[in-house]
Chain A
Amino acid sequence: MMKRDGQDTIIATRNLSRTYVMGNMQVTALNQVTIDIRRGEFAAIMGKSGSGKSTLLHQLGLLDTPTEGEIMIDGVDISRLSESEQTRFRLEKFGYVFQEYAILPELTALENVYLPAMALGLSQDECVTKGVDALEKVGLAERADHRPRALSGGEQQRVAIARALINKPKILFADEPTANLDSASSKQILELFRALNRDIGQTVLMVTHELEDADIVDRVIWLADGEVVEREG
C-alpha cells in the first residue's frame, strides 16, 4: 500500500532551544533549531556525540520541555497541552523505540506489544488481533507467547518496535535503536523501518551515529553543538 499524502508538514519547530543549568554553568544542548519534517518522511538525526541529537528527539517526542521556541505537531501547538494531555498525545500519536529494548520481562511479547492498545481502552480481542498484526509486521508472530528472556536482543528490539506501532502512531521516534545490536540485527531493524515507511507511509524520526544509515533514509538532519548545520563529516 502506497500512502504518501502529499508534502504536508507533521513536525515544525521554530527557534527551539534547550538549556541545561548545572550549578552556575549553562549547557546549551539545542540552539535555535528550526526544522520541518514532512508526513511520511524517514528522517535521521545525525551528528557527533554531544551534538544534541537525543535532546532534539526528546523535545519533539514530548519527553522534555524546551527552554525556548515552538513545536507544532500535526497542527497542535504542544506548549498548550497539559501534562496529562501530553501523556495522552504520546499514547495516541507517537511510537518510541529506545536504545535499550525496554520491554517488561513479566509480560509475553504479545502482551508487551498490546499494552498501549489496552491503555487506549481496546477490548482484549482487539488487543490480541492488533498485537499479532504488529508482531507480524516485525516478523515475530510465532514468538508472541515468549517472554523477553527467551528472545535475542534484536528480537526484543523488534518487539519494542511492534509495541511502538500498535496504536498506528503518526510519528515513530527511535533513539539509536541499533546501538546495542550486532550488524546483522541492525540491518534487519533498519530495513524494517525502511519497509514501514515505504509500505504504510510511516513517518520515522531516528537518531543514529552510523554514517552508512544516511544512505537508507530520505533525509538527514545534521546537528553540531546544538545547531542544525548543512552537513558534517
Chain B
Amino acid sequence: MASTTTELKVSAFLAYKFIAKGNRGTSALTILIMALAFVNLMFTTSVFDGMGDATEKQVIDTLYSNIVIEPKDDEVYIKNPDSVVKKIIHVPGVIGTSAQYVTGATIAYEERSGAWSIRAVDPDDERTVSLVPDMMIAGEYLSKYDRGEIIIGKEIAGGHGGSLEHISLGGVVVGDTVEVTFTNGVRREYRVKGIFDTNFIQSNQLAYVTEKELESVLGIHDMASQILVKTDTKGEEGRFLNQFVELGVHEDIKPWTVYAGIVATLTQSFSVLNTLTGAIGFFVAGVTIFIVIYVSTVSKRRQMGILRAIGIKESIIIRSYIFQAVFYAMCGCIAGLVIMFAILVPYFIKHPMVFPMGNVTLLIEQKAAIVRSVGLIISAAIAGFLPSWRAVRETILDAIWGD
C-alpha cells in the first residue's frame, strides 16, 4: 500500500513542524530531561562496569596474572615446574611465567600477629607476570638471592590507612624484624625489606619471600604450588588453555576468571541495584515524555479534532506524536552521551572514586549504552503513543467543541 508511505510522510512532516516551529524552550527542556534520564541510566552502570574493570585489572596485574597452572587434584606441588614452563614459554602470546610456592603463615610483630598467605617467588620471573614489584611504597622489592628478607602488603604492615588496619601488624616499617611461623612449625625472623600498595585489598594482604628462602624452610626444591602465566591479551585465555593441553601440560590450567570470584559477587550484588535504578530511570524518562506529549495533545486538542474532521487519519496523528517522542529521546541519548564523555568521564579520571579494588573511573560499555538508548527510545515511544491514542479516542465533535 502506497498510502503507508504517504501516512509516514505526513506524520513526519507534522512531527518535524511541531518540534521545529513549536516552543523552543519546551523542546530544549524535554531534551535536557531526557539527557539527564539517560545519564542517570548510564551512570550507575558505568560505575559498576568501572569497578568490574578495575577489579579484573587488579586480579590480573597483582594476584593471578592471566593463567594459573596448578598441581593435579591429588598432588600438593607441581614437580619440576621448569619442564612445564619450557613447554609453554614459546607459545606465541605468552610473555611471562612465574613458578612459585604459596603457603600460609603467622606473622608477628611485637605483640600483634595474624595469619596471611606468603608467596615465594623468583623475583626476576615475578616481574614478568606481576606489577607488585612496581608498587613499592617503602623499601625495595626482593632480589634473587635475598635470604631472611620479606616484603609485605600495606594491609599486613598497617599504618598506611588500609581498610584492615585493625587486624594489621599496626605499623611495621622497613627495617623492622617480623617473626614468621610457617604451617610446618618452622619459625624464622625476617627483616622487612619493602612494603607495597596495590590499591587492591586482596593483593595488599600478601607477603613475599624468595623461592630459595622458602625451599629452605620447607626442605623441598624444584617444585611449585602454582605457575602464573602472563599473556599479551585478555579474554583469549580459553585458546591458551587448549594450546597448553595440546603441548602436554597435564596439570590443572585455569584462567584468572576462576579466581576472580570477587568480581562475580560484586557484579551480582550490584546488578540488582543496577536493574532497580535502570527501571526507575526508564520510568522517569517515560513519565517525562508522557507529560510533555500529554500537555501537547491537550493544548492541541481542538486542532487535532479539526485535522481529523478534514480527513487526516488518527494513525497519522498518533504517529506524529510518537515521532516527536522518539526524536526527543534520541536527542536526549546523544546529549546524555555528550555529558558523559565530555564532563563525567574526564571528571572521574581526574578524581577517581576510591574503592577496595582500587581507583575506579567510569567505564562506558558500548553494549550498555546501546541497550539503554534503545530502552529509553522504546519507553518514549510508548509514552508518546498513550496520550495521543487517548486523545483520538474522543469523538471529533467533542475534540473540537467539547470542554
A contacts, CB < 8 Å to B = 58, 61, 63-64, 84, 87-92, 94-96, 98, 100, 102, 104-107, 111, 115-116, 118-121, 147, 163-164
CB-CB under 8 A from B3, the residues of chain A are: 121
Name the distance in Å between B6's Cβ and chain A's nearest Cβ. Answer: 4
Minimum distance in angstroms from A167 CB to a CB of chain B: 8
* Cross-chain contact B311 with A104 (CB below 8 angstroms): no
Could you list 11 A-B pairs, sorted by A, with CB under 8 Å? A63-B396, A87-B312, A94-B310, A95-B310, A102-B303, A102-B306, A104-B303, A104-B307, A107-B21, A118-B6, A121-B3
User: What CA separation (Å) do A163 and B22 show in the bound complex?
Assistant: 21
The answer to whether B310 touches A91, judged by C-beta atoms less than 8 angstroms apart, is yes
Kindly specify which of B9-17, B99-107, B235-243 makes contact with the partner chain. Answer: B9-17
A91-B312 in contact (CB<8A): yes
Which 9 pairs across A and B sit closest by C-beta, in order of nearness? Answer: A91-B311, A106-B21, A90-B311, A121-B6, A102-B306, A106-B17, A119-B10, A63-B396, A118-B10
* Apart from A105-B21, A111-B17, A164-B310, 19 more pairs, CB < 8 Å: A58-B397, A63-B396, A64-B395, A90-B309, A98-B309, A100-B302, A102-B306, A104-B303, A107-B21, A115-B13, A115-B312, A116-B310, A118-B9, A119-B6, A119-B7, A119-B312, A119-B313, A120-B6, A147-B21
Nearest residue, chain A, Cβ from B308:
A87
Q: B77 on the interface (CB 8 Å rule)?
A: no
A147 surroundings in chain B (CB, below 8 A): 21
Q: Provide the bound-state CA to CA distance between A3 and B72, in Å.
A: 103
The reply to whether A107 and B396 contact each other, CB–CB distance below 8 Å, is no
Knowing A100-B302, A106-B21, A106-B22, the reply to whether A90 touches B397 (Cβ < 8 A) is no
Rounded to whole angstroms, the CA-CA distance of A130 and B396 in the bound complex is: 27
A107:B309 contact, CB within 8 angstroms = no
The answer to whether A92 and B306 touch across the interface, beta carbons within 8 angstroms, is no
| Cβ–Cβ < 8 Å partners of A90 in chain B | 309-311
Complex alpha-carbon distance, A21 and B252, angstroms: 85
Residue B272 lies at the interface, judged by CB distance under 8 Å to chain A = no
